A and B are shown apart, each in its own frame.
Chain A
Amino acid sequence: MQIQKEKIIHTDVLIIGGGTAGCYAALTLRSLSEASVVIAEKADIRRSGCLAAGVNALNAYITKGHTPQFYVDYAKKDAAGIVREDLLLTMSEGLSEVTKKLEELGLVILKDEQGEYVTRGPRNIKINGENIKTILADAVQKLDDVEVINHLNITDYIVRDNRIAGALGFDILTGTAYEIRAKAVLCATGGASGLYRPNNPGFSRHKMWYSPFNTGAGYAMGIRAGAEMTTFEMRFIALRCKDTIAPTGTIAQGVGAKQINAKGEVYEDKYGLTTSQRLYGTVRESLDGNGPCYLKTEGLTADEDEALLKAYLNMAPSQTLKWIESGKRPSQQNVEIEGTEPYVVGGHTASGYWVDTHRQTTIHGLYAAGDVAGGCPQKYVTGALVEGEIAAKHIVETALSDGLALTADEEGRILADKVAEYNAFLGEERPFFTVEELEEAMQKVMDAYAGGIGSHYQYNERQLALADEKIDQLMDLADSVGAGDYHELLFVYELKERLTVCKVLIAHLRARKETRWHSFAENLDYPEQKDEWLKYVNSRMDEDGQIHMVYRDLVPGGSLYEHSH
């Protein structure tokens, strides 16, 4: 099998990833300008990305009586200081407006008798989030001059002299290869899952928390193009319901269930209340012989049972099915909890592209928003929307006047080279290893040597050095895998993306010589937190594939940040 068709498209703005941030950026671009927009989405924007199953609440919101600065302070504390306050503040300032817009588009938000949103804690509001993605997708489909190309998997940027000129990819259903030339590009491909051995490594290997289809493409493309990345070492590990990997917040915050160990002791205040400490406490309790750990739901009322069953159907239906199959409602059986495998996801922690306040990356004309963008943890759904909006505004203001000129010959050559690469994988009929084998090997390496579930999220320098060596070997092997069809070609690129992200992640874990966040980055050779590490650990890959670490001072609150280039 070979690539059958080729297409070159010109547009003002290319959005890669029609998820949360990508869809909202398209809405903003068209409301502020006449710019032509192409959305390249590897699945179908109707249900693609993190929002596919629905969400349970809007986790980032400035509730009554609070200010955006309150949110900044909270997120900064939770991340032990390693955040970009300029990004957090600009994100927080936009939360109300995007929420209003979501409501106008049809999202159901719970209100009290005075018409105020009903809160779930100081930063969350209650919604029915089952159809949040279809609402966004419908709004995008109604726009003119926005071409949505579904099932188009983007594999590479086109960059000349550190300036973006477009991207390349292929349609995973038809095998058509695309070159999309654009004046500005927004990367909104989400974070990276599947790097580590997952919780259910067998048949249900993709029953993970983060979308298994967000494979770190945006990070990998940026890394290869020389974009600067930040804080990959602040991994995100979620505390979730065992087996179903369903969110726990609905139970913990919704009905106020406490974390208890197998002896029934409440342990959550023992280790601290930041996101990483809550997880760490659960790991510690198990290591100390007090596992399994639970959320104490026994004794809830029948009404609370009913409400939980329904709330989970709106975002993680497998948990409801599990309750019903087991014949025991939450009130009759505590909910067992566990940590997930580590992810790289900038919507929860601070890892991702190093961007300026306008969300422009270190590559001119290339922007990043949502889970792929760094420096701004705890942005969640609404923060991803705001980042899409901020990037879109700046694109309209500055990036639409002139794009990079390429001759038709050059354009043709760029695409032909990429097609040759795709065809080489498609033509490889007897590969020694399959993609699946190499993916499992990668996950095993990361689990054992880079702090996965199996090593209780801990690692030391010697283990990280081994991880690096073994990932290098797998990267070599990944050059000679084969693909029997276009979907398998997607698997090839997903593997390569993940390996690139692993490589950079390991470099970051090695670089931060302290333990600032338990579990998220727990280096047994440096178990203490040190003030000298109150700085950003960034990285850049050079043309020879070498990763260079860049250490940057914290950007102080109250200032904006511009790249010096």
Chain B
Amino acid sequence: MSIRINQDRCIGCKRCVSVCPGSLIDINETGKARMHYPKDCWGCVSCVKECPVQAIDFYLGADMGGRGSTMNVTTEGQYIKWHIRRPDGSEETITIDRKQANSY
């Protein structure tokens, strides 16, 4: 499991660099974020949630049964929207109300 950073979207704000609990991300020569240690990712998705411009996608490694879908997050007020994009281009969004507790 790991992340990919979209270089075109990244604005170099460094939020992901700071919040990753493993400090796995750094800034490259062009001032954009780079995943320095892809094999060390815990999959906690902190960076994905903190990125202000949705430049970070996470995905499951092939060794975990991943098939190339990616996921990222947008936050709108009290709602978190999780966007899943499949390799065939189809998308699915799940919306979570942050004010609501888990049913389980």
Contacts and interface: CB of A to CB of B under 8 A. Distances in A.
Contacts of A213: 21-22, 42
A321 B84 contact: yes
Contact of A47 (B21, B39, B40, B67): B21
B13 interface: no
Contact of B21 (A43, A172, A309): A43
A173 B23 contact: yes
Nearest to B37: A487
A118 interface: yes
Contacts of A463: none
B69 A254 contact: no
A533 to B, nearest CB: 36
Interface residues on B, range: 35 or more
A414 B2 CA distance: 40
A204 B64 contact: yes
Given A203-B62, A213-B22, A244-B1, 11 more contacts: A43-B21, A110-B102, A151-B23, A207-B43, A207-B64, A244-B64, A250-B104, A313-B94, A313-B96, A321-B60, A324-B69
Tell me whether chain B's interface is mostly helix, strand or loop, or mixed: loop
Contact of B104 (A203, A311, A313, A325): A311
23 contacts: A44-B19, A47-B21, A56-B102, A56-B104, A127-B101, A130-B98, A200-B63, A204-B2, A204-B63, A207-B42, A208-B42, A212-B22, A244-B1, A310-B96, A310-B102, A317-B71, A321-B71, A322-B60, A324-B69, A324-B92, A325-B65, A325-B84, A326-B65
Given A53-B46, A321-B71, A203 B61 contact: yes
Contacts of B61: 200, 202-204, 207
Select the residue from A129, A203, A487 with max chain B CB neighbours within 10 A. Answer: A203
Contact of B18 (A128, A150, A324, A325): A150
A206 B42 contact: yes
A322 B62 CA distance: 11
Contacts of A204: 1-2, 39, 43, 60-61, 63-64
Contacts of A131: 98
Interface in A11-49: 42-44, 46-49
Contacts of B96: 130, 310, 313-314
Interface of B: 1-2, 18-23, 36, 38-46, 50, 58-67, 69, 71, 80, 82, 84, 86, 92, 94, 96, 98-104
Please give me the 10 A-B residue pairs with the lowest Cβ-Cβ distance, nearest first: A254-B104, A110-B101, A52-B44, A47-B46, A53-B44, A204-B61, A311-B102, A243-B64, A307-B103, A203-B61
A325 B98 contact: no
B1 to A, nearest CB: 4
Given A52-B21, A310-B96, A254 B103 contact: yes
Select the residue from A46, A118, A127 with max chain B CB neighbours within 10 A. Answer: A46
Contacts of B41: 206-207
Contacts of B50: 47
Nearest to B18: A44
B101 A211 contact: no
A64 interface: no
A128 B69 contact: no
A382 B36 CA distance: 34
A124 to B, nearest CB: 10
A318 B21 contact: no
A321 B87 CA distance: 13
Nearest to A43: B21
Given A204-B63, A212-B42, A325-B86, A49 B21 contact: yes
Contacts of B46: 46-47, 52-53
